[in-house]
Structure 1
Amino acid sequence: MSRSVKGTLSGWANFPKETGYMYRPEKYKDLREILQSKSQVHYISRGLGRSYGDTALNNQGGIIMHTRFNRFLYFDDQSQVLECEAGVTFREIIEVFLPRGYALPVTPGTKYVTVGGAIANDVHGKNHHRDGSLSSHILDINVLTSSGEIMNCSRQENQDLFWATIGGIGLTGIILSTRIKLMKVESAFIQVDYKKAGHLDEAIDMLNETEELYQYSVAWIDCLSRNRMMGRSVLMLGNHASKDQVEINEPLSLKNRRKLKVPFNLPAFVLNPYSIKAFNSFYYRRFKNTSGVFVDYDSFFYPLDVILSWNRIYGKTGFIQYQVVFPLETSRQGLTKVLEKLSRARCSSFLGVLKRFGESGNGLLSFPRKGYSLSLDIPFRGGDRLLTFIRELDELVLGYGGVLYLAKDSLMTPSTFAIMYPELSAFQEIKAKFDPEGLFSSSMARRLNIVGDIG
């Protein structure tokens, strides 16, 4: 049986940091043996650790690493369906299949995620307004339950387990493999139009007006600008380019980007309201309204992946990643109030991202729903003062019907979570059905009272 190694882990935000017992199994029988051994009271699966908070942490519990379950099992050219193990990364899918003319149907802002982790968080991308979240493209999932049974679940078979597992942050069982439908493309380039918006209302209007024209739309937003410039943005609107448009000999070839690296945690003083305000001003001014720019696949979808360990920019104390979605009817007011609060508090964020979401998915704990989403990064400074600020921000978000993303969260309270996710009780019933002893748990699950504090 795979043995455990005690160690300290964190999410990508480097907050919080917790101790757990890590297992690196290589075969499915190893997984069964780990679960049956009762060596730990509870376990959680972990991929590459790119969720930000405590989703894949399990303080003083078992953590099952999935990086060795990374085989491609089958691919059908005609149906465009890929079957693979949960430890396969998006990077591996891109490197193998994009040169053959197939792209991921949905991707978050990094390719360094596993398929299992992406399903467990029901990830979304720049095309949610058109193509939904990852769950829209998953045909079925094989899940190892706490009893040791492998169950195939889909929209037709074991539907309750399917919709609880998608977005279920690893609490229903261990995702072993899946079938996902890829997207046919002619090139490894996106044709992008850049448009500048002078303030939040203009950015929202432009995203509304262009949603039918572009498969991909996202806006970088200045979260520190004030008054009439509050929420000024740079919109990046794109569609897949055809092979005739790019006019190169190998339109599906991947561009080699030179990687940079942040070798150590930067001192806390590097990121402050003054430095981030200066960066935001520079970033906004460097763009001009431009149409028809051809951007390679990696640069468009994964701009930060070129900087290895970019999370170290925030220093050893880490940062808070905060993503909210407001319903369409309250988006303008809710986003305005959030930006006003951030600006007044001089709460720094230089990775502010604004997106339009389409229809909600069906995952019981899935995050995306129709409206506008704002994603922020906030350096973890000030301890109790920051915690008080986040609590106030949560109350504001609740007042406008907003919902926070579990993959980014590290500070939400159980009461806030229960209001934001009204399907919680239905999820808990399904979890109890397939995991009656509560073998699958995590620090987040206990913090939010999704599961009880076992052991």
Structure 2
Amino acid sequence: MDQTQPAPHSWGRYPISRPANVITPYWRDELPDLSQCELSILPYGYGRSYGDSCLNDGGILLDMHHLNRLQSFDPATGLIRCEAGVSFAQILDVVVPHGWFLPVSPGTKFVSVGGAIANDVHGKNHHKAGTFGCHVTQFALLRSSGEQLICSPTQNSELFCATIGGLGLTGLILWAEFQLKRIVNPYIDMESIRFESLDEFFALSEESDQKYEYSMSWVDLLVGGDRLCRGRFMRGNNNQDPALNEKVPGQPLPLAIPIDFPSIVLNSLTIKAFNQLYHNVQLSKEMHKVVPYNPFFYPLDSIYEWYRMYGKRGFLQYQFVVPFETAREAMREVLGRIRSSGEGSFLTVLKTFGAVKSPGMLSFPRPGLTLALDFSYHGRKTLRLLDDLDHCIIQSGGVVYPAKDARMSPESFQTYYPQWQNFAQYIDPKFSSSFWRRVTSSSIEEPIPVASRSNNIF
């Protein structure tokens, strides 16, 4: 077991965090006696959360990524059990040759199973499969009292629901079991369609939700006018040709960003130029291809430490979901405030969430339109913009994703998630995080009012 004092950061590199200690066990019998820890504890995986939900400033981080052993895998049923530090990349290497795939995956495979449960991650197939937590059958949770609990929908079910999406606060996940998805081969039938307005995006989404397992869009928010946005709509299904199972996908040459870009590199002009290029590089309206799963699900994983493009100060990701009823008005207001602020989002993803409900008590996805934006951190200017966007999202009846947040106020969080006080009773008394202390540092007597969805809310 290692005990060191590095300064781990989240993927966005904001805020700066200095834990008092980082403990790295290699075997489960090396785990410390949690009851004897004088400082607060938080599990840490691969640091792919964007905000401070994976940080514990002044406390203890338990770096779990060496507890990464597969315990069982049934190639006949697709049921897999592994330690919490196992990455999705490890799982894919084992199960894809046997005709199985992850039931749900975020945009990177370099996340731990424990982190996927704690953040209840979602992916391109939410409208069909819901969140990762929907496919978890059971896990073992170690509490600071020393008690080890098996949690499932029928056993310790309340802790099961609190831990899924519980941001690592209910205890230490030792191992987890979940159900994989059957595939014929490791390829995707992909379509990429250029669209020129938000209305066209909604039409494509409605059509695709019925016929396609996976969908998402890259969008350009700086076009202005009534169109609101334009972009490329990507949708796909698992290819069904057994012959392709013999064709091993080629691995792209890995790229790396070895230095931090100067802050001047990403500005409104360069972002606008990139958007123009990326939108027009696809010459035809529609493109059909059969592609390996890696570039379809994980395009950025081929660029090591891509967060360096945002410079030393890092960036903030802001992801929200708003109900379909208020989505157009909310998008109009959000995009207007972004344009008037002079800030620009380099990587922007738009998609819809379906109605599959997660068991997670604090789970983020719900039916509606979700937008994820990346903003270079420019100090108070950026923080003011995101505070303004919080107001828009609250007024439209939406919520912001805690796993990607680094700055929301207690008032905003407690309005987004009024169930937070019920959740708090399941937090292990020894566990805490920078995020949780920030968003519960004060309470509010009345939630910020949400305008009636039947009215013009802006």
Question: Structures share a fold, TM > 0.5?
Answer: yes
* Counterpart for residue 333 of structure 1: 329
> What's the secondary structure of 1:385's corresponding residue?
helix
The answer to whether residue 13 in structure 2 is matched with residue 22 in structure 1 is no
**Structure 1: which amino acid aligns with 2:36?**
S
* Counterpart for residue 134 of structure 1: 132
CA separation of 1:341/1:156 partners in 2, compared to 1, >3 Å: closer, same or farther? same
Q: CA deviation at 1:272?
A: 0.3
* Counterpart for residue 432 of structure 2: 441
The answer to whether residue 66 in structure 2 is matched with residue 68 in structure 1 is yes
The answer to whether residue 219 in structure 2 is matched with residue 224 in structure 1 is no
Aligned partners of 1:225 and 1:343 also within 8 Å: no
CA deviations on 1:408-450 (whole Å, 9 max, x unpaired) are 100111111011012111101222xxx2xx2000100100118
The answer to whether residue 355 in structure 2 is matched with residue 363 in structure 1 is no
**Structure 1: which amino acid aligns with 2:48?**
R
**Structure 1: which amino acid aligns with 2:371?**
L
* Counterpart for residue 47 of structure 2: 49
Aligned partners of 1:190 and 1:297 also within 8 Å: yes
1: CA distance, partners of 2:394 / 2:230: 24
2: CA distance, partners of 1:219 / 1:208: 13
**Structure 2: which amino acid aligns with 1:327?**
P
1: CA distance, partners of 2:88 / 2:76: 21
Aligned partners of 1:445 and 1:451 also within 8 Å: no
CA deviations on 1:272-330 (whole Å, 9 max, x unpaired) are 00000000011111123335311110000000011111000000000010000011211
Q: CA deviation at 1:255?
A: 2.5
1: CA distance, partners of 2:209 / 2:363: 22
* Counterpart for residue 5 of structure 2: 6
1: CA distance, partners of 2:372 / 2:56: 25
Aligned partners of 1:199 and 1:230 also within 8 Å: yes
1: CA distance, partners of 2:93 / 2:189: 20
* Counterpart for residue 176 of structure 1: 174
CA deviations on 1:363-411 (whole Å, 9 max, x unpaired) are 1111111111000000001x22222211111111110011111111001
The answer to whether residue 115 in structure 2 is matched with residue 117 in structure 1 is yes
CA RMSD of aligned residues (A): 1.5
User: Structure 2: which 5+ residue stretches go unaligned?
Assistant: 444-458
> What's the secondary structure of 1:68's corresponding residue?
coil
**Structure 2: which amino acid aligns with 1:17?**
I
> What's the secondary structure of 1:352's corresponding residue?
strand
Q: How many correspondences in the alignment?
A: 440
The answer to whether residue 285 in structure 2 is matched with residue 286 in structure 1 is no
> What's the secondary structure of 1:320's corresponding residue?
strand
Aligned partners of 1:109 and 1:301 also within 8 Å: yes
* Counterpart for residue 304 of structure 2: 308
Q: CA deviation at 1:22?
A: 0.4
Which of these residues, 254, 262, 270, is aligned with residue 259 of structure 1?
A: 254
**Structure 1: which amino acid aligns with 2:338?**
L
The answer to whether residue 263 in structure 2 is matched with residue 268 in structure 1 is yes
Which of 58-67 and 202-211 deviates more? 202-211
> What's the secondary structure of 1:7's corresponding residue?
coil
Aligned partners of 1:223 and 1:350 also within 8 Å: no
Aligned partners of 2:127 and 2:353 also within 8 Å: yes
The answer to whether residue 370 in structure 2 is matched with residue 373 in structure 1 is yes
Amino-acid identity (%): 39
Q: CA deviation at 1:229?
A: 4.1
CA separation of 1:271/1:291 partners in 2, compared to 1, >3 Å: closer, same or farther? closer
CA separation of 1:384/1:34 partners in 2, compared to 1, >3 Å: closer, same or farther? same
> Could you state the TM-score of these two structures normalised by the residue count of structure 2?
0.93
* Counterpart for residue 453 of structure 2: none
The answer to whether residue 412 in structure 2 is matched with residue 421 in structure 1 is no
Q: CA deviation at 1:341?
A: 1.5
CA deviations on 1:323-351 (whole Å, 9 max, x unpaired) are 00011211121122111211222321121
Q: CA deviation at 1:451?
A: 10
1: CA distance, partners of 2:166 / 2:128: 23
2: CA distance, partners of 1:451 / 1:53: 20
1: CA distance, partners of 2:292 / 2:72: 27
Aligned partners of 2:47 and 2:54 also within 8 Å: yes
CA separation of 1:63/1:243 partners in 2, compared to 1, >3 Å: closer, same or farther? same
Which of these residues, 79, 82, 96, is aligned with residue 81 of structure 1?
A: 79
CA deviations on 1:72-119 (whole Å, 9 max, x unpaired) are 101122321000010000000111111121100100000010000010
> What's the secondary structure of 2:426's corresponding residue?
helix
1: CA distance, partners of 2:342 / 2:254: 32
**Structure 1: which amino acid aligns with 2:358?**
G
Aligned partners of 2:51 and 2:405 also within 8 Å: yes
**Structure 2: which amino acid aligns with 1:281?**
Q
Which of these residues, 237, 240, 259, is aligned with residue 238 of structure 2?
A: 240
2: CA distance, partners of 1:179 / 1:330: 38
Aligned partners of 1:224 and 1:346 also within 8 Å: no
CA separation of 1:450/1:439 partners in 2, compared to 1, >3 Å: closer, same or farther? farther
> What's the secondary structure of 1:440's corresponding residue?
coil
Q: CA deviation at 1:29?
A: 2.9
Q: How does 1:180-199 map to 2 (within 5 A)?
A: 180-199=178-197
Aligned partners of 2:184 and 2:240 also within 8 Å: yes
**Structure 1: which amino acid aligns with 2:23?**
Y
Aligned partners of 2:34 and 2:144 also within 8 Å: yes
Aligned partners of 1:441 and 1:451 also within 8 Å: no
CA separation of 1:226/1:186 partners in 2, compared to 1, >3 Å: closer, same or farther? same
> Could you state the TM-score of these two structures normalised by the residue count of structure 1?
0.94
User: Structure 1: which 5+ residue stretches go unaligned?
Assistant: none
